[in-house]
Homo-oligomer: A and B are copies of this chain.
Amino acid sequence: MIRKLRPRAYDEAIYVGHYFRTGVPVVMDLSALPDAEARQMVDFAAGLVCGRGGDMDRLTDRVFLLLPAAR
């Protein structure tokens, strides 16, 4: 299963964290966010991946794939 999220505000970062923590790959589509909040979301996701292990790949300018570490 892959979860696709298209947050409309930075405070939806909590959902990105939620799915990532449960081991689900998350496609994070930032195309609905202004630049400043998109930047915040990327930094949040970088911390998330650093904390739990896994990988973040940039698929397009505004779309990222977060892959949790294999368990």
Contact = CB atoms under 8 A, between A and B. Distances in A.
Copies in the complex: 2
A6 interface: no
Indicate the size class of the contact surface on chain A. 10 to 19
Interface string A7-50: 00000011001001100000000000000000111011111111
A52 interface: yes
A50 B10 CA distance: 14
A49 B47 CA distance: 8
Interface of A: 13-14, 17, 20-21, 39-41, 43-52
7 contacts: A13-B50, A43-B44, A43-B47, A44-B44, A44-B46, A44-B47, A49-B51
